[in-house]
Structure 1
Amino acid sequence: MSTSPAWDPAREIAVDPASPEPLYFQVARQLHAAIDDGRLPAGSRLANELDLAASLRLSRPTVRQAIQSLVNQGLLVRKRGVGTQVVRTKVARPLRLSSLYDDLTGLGGTPETAVLCNRVEDADAETAALLEAPALARARRLKRIRSTDGEPLAVMNNYLPDGLLDPSDEDLRENGLYQLLRAAGVRLHSAQQSIGARLASAEDAELLCEEPGAPLLTMQRTTYDETGRVVEYGWHVYRASRYSFNLSLTNS
């Protein structure tokens, strides 16, 4: 991929000193828009701070602050000997009854999966409670890393009642969990989901190629079939620098 800057900031960015919006924020907002709409694709290299400041007729600290704000959001990265480059934009996932595999495929991506755990275990009281099946004796435990374009996005953990699904590691690498459930005749109906955030542990950081203490999104989901039975409980962590959830609100 070429990293030659084809995007002309002097032509594309307009700042208004009379605006109540800080100058650095005006620059960052317009850079963000150019990344979102593809004018600055992944791998594009920005001019150095001095040249960018001169072309925009702004101070170097203003430009540095604008760039740093996008670095903090995970949209730009500084590389020694290369300069400042655009990284891939976040995967924005709508809140609906779908899997990450479904959403990545729908966005035109190529999901990749590393299977870390795929086994049936004795179900303790906590597992049985999560699956809302007090008499449950055995449960299938899954742990996978989901990636796209060679870059990890999430660590996904799931419990399923034993006997519901018997996937091979290859099945899990080639398909999403909901695809496998549907193929097995499970009719998904609804889910309860909660979203939160935490800092990356050492294990998270290693699996997701982040620094320890980096912000992560968390999600817990209980999924029901049309009979009201729990068919899976999932608890996942996502890279906040590469991932977001979208929620539509209506005035009913």
Structure 2
Amino acid sequence: MTFAIDHKSPVPLHIQTEDLLRKIIKQPQYQKGKHLPNEIELARTLNISRGTLRQAINKLVYEGLLTRKKGVGTKVNNMVSSRALNWLSFSQEMAVRGIPIKNFETHLSWVKPEESVRNFFDIKGNRKVLKLEKLRGRPEGPFVYFVSYFHPRIGLTGEEDFKRPLYEILESDYQVVADLSQEEISARAADKFLAGKLQLDTGSPILCRKRFVFDQAERPIEYNLGFYRADSFVYTIESRREQ
């Protein structure tokens, strides 16, 4: 897609820029999580001021179509709805609920991640990242399958003791503090692989939670997928209306 606006048009530049951005974010690569070009580069390409560009971006951010993070960039917000929440690690969540947890499987591997993960981390396609898979649940059976990918910048080796709480490892061993989480929650039918992991019939309903984790500088550190049995887990949200 060509990034261009008509400087001879009577339509104001910020309106043209806004319309262009709406077309850009519908492109497959941006729907899959790729960050938009940085403001300096895009303003130069369009031959407009950064102020004009920011005016258009701010409009889409206000509408919930874009998410902008300092030092990270601007990307499409694909969540149907979103709300800022206080968040806990899985171990903390279960401790609060008083649920005893058993680890059934733990697997570590170095992989070339799929496009959505590469775009979130902003890394090249040939770069491998550490992938952690865990199957967890109550002593009588598993109810959640986790997949986590970690940014190579952290320095994880794969030799860590992942029986320890994950964020304790990151903070104590690598001085990386998980500070911000963004989540997408959706429902889906279990495919053959997930059905086998969670001891379900293929096609059974499961809850899918996608979590994007950032450090204190708002740099991406973890891309996490959690697949829960729908009959064993309830995701509760408490919010207070702003006055």
Tell me the residue number matched to 2:139: 149
Tell me the residue number matched to 2:157: 166
Tell me the residue number matched to 2:228: 238
Q: Secondary structure at the match of 1:245?
A: coil
Is the CA contact (8 Å cut-off) linking 1:102 and 1:176 kept in structure 2? no
Rg (Cα) greater in structure: 1
Q: Secondary structure at the match of 1:188?
A: coil
Aligned counterpart for 2:164 among listed residues 158, 175, 194 = 175
Q: Secondary structure at the match of 1:246?
A: coil
Per the alignment, do residues 135 and 198 of structure 1 end up closer, same or farther by CA in structure 2, a change over 3 Å counting?
closer
Tell me the residue number matched to 1:85: none
Per the alignment, do residues 113 and 225 of structure 1 end up closer, same or farther by CA in structure 2, a change over 3 Å counting?
same
Tell me the residue number matched to 2:99: 109
Per the alignment, do residues 124 and 248 of structure 1 end up closer, same or farther by CA in structure 2, a change over 3 Å counting?
closer
Tell me the residue number matched to 2:23: none
Which has the larger share of strand?
A: 1
Q: Partners in 1 of 2:114 and 2:230 — Cα distance?
A: 32
Q: Would you identify which runs of 4 or more consecutive aligned residues in structure 1 move more than 6 Å?
A: none
Superimposed CA distance per residue, residues 163-214 of structure 1 (whole angstroms, 9 cap, x where no aligned partner): 5223447x22x22322322222211211110100001112211111112111
Which structure 2 residue ranges, 5 or more long, are not aligned?
1-84
Q: TM-score, normalised by structure 2?
A: 0.57
Q: Partners in 1 of 2:152 and 2:134 — Cα distance?
A: 18
Is the CA contact (8 Å cut-off) linking 1:98 and 1:178 kept in structure 2? no
Measure how far apart 1:134 and its partner are.
Answer: 5.0
Q: CA RMSD in A?
A: 2.3
Match of 1:240, as an amino acid? Answer: A
Match of 1:166, as an amino acid? Answer: T
The worse-fitting range, judged by mean Cα deviation, of 237-246 and 97-106 is: 97-106
Match of 2:157, as an amino acid? Answer: D
Find out whether 1:98 has 2:53 as its counterpart.
Answer: no
Per the alignment, do residues 102 and 136 of structure 1 end up closer, same or farther by CA in structure 2, a change over 3 Å counting?
farther
Per the alignment, do residues 224 and 149 of structure 1 end up closer, same or farther by CA in structure 2, a change over 3 Å counting?
same
Per the alignment, do residues 190 and 136 of structure 1 end up closer, same or farther by CA in structure 2, a change over 3 Å counting?
farther
Is the CA contact (8 Å cut-off) linking 1:120 and 1:162 kept in structure 2? no
Per the alignment, do residues 156 and 229 of structure 1 end up closer, same or farther by CA in structure 2, a change over 3 Å counting?
same
Find out whether 1:226 has 2:216 as its counterpart.
Answer: yes
Which structure 1 residue ranges, 5 or more long, are not aligned?
1-94
Q: Partners in 1 of 2:150 and 2:104 — Cα distance?
A: 19
Is the CA contact (8 Å cut-off) linking 2:113 and 2:125 kept in structure 1? no
Match of 2:195, as an amino acid? Answer: A
Tell me the residue number matched to 1:199: 189
Match of 1:182, as an amino acid? Answer: E
Q: Partners in 2 of 1:244 and 1:194 — Cα distance?
A: 15
Per the alignment, do residues 122 and 248 of structure 1 end up closer, same or farther by CA in structure 2, a change over 3 Å counting?
same
Q: Partners in 1 of 2:239 and 2:178 — Cα distance?
A: 23
Tell me the residue number matched to 1:17: none
The number of residues matched between the two structures is: 156
Identity %: 20
1:8-47 alignment, distance < 5 Å: none
The worse-fitting range, judged by mean Cα deviation, of 200-209 and 119-128 is: 119-128
Measure how far apart 1:232 and its partner are.
Answer: 0.2
Q: Partners in 2 of 1:98 and 1:198 — Cα distance?
A: 23
Per the alignment, do residues 237 and 135 of structure 1 end up closer, same or farther by CA in structure 2, a change over 3 Å counting?
closer
Tell me the residue number matched to 1:210: 200
Q: Partners in 2 of 1:98 and 1:128 — Cα distance?
A: 25
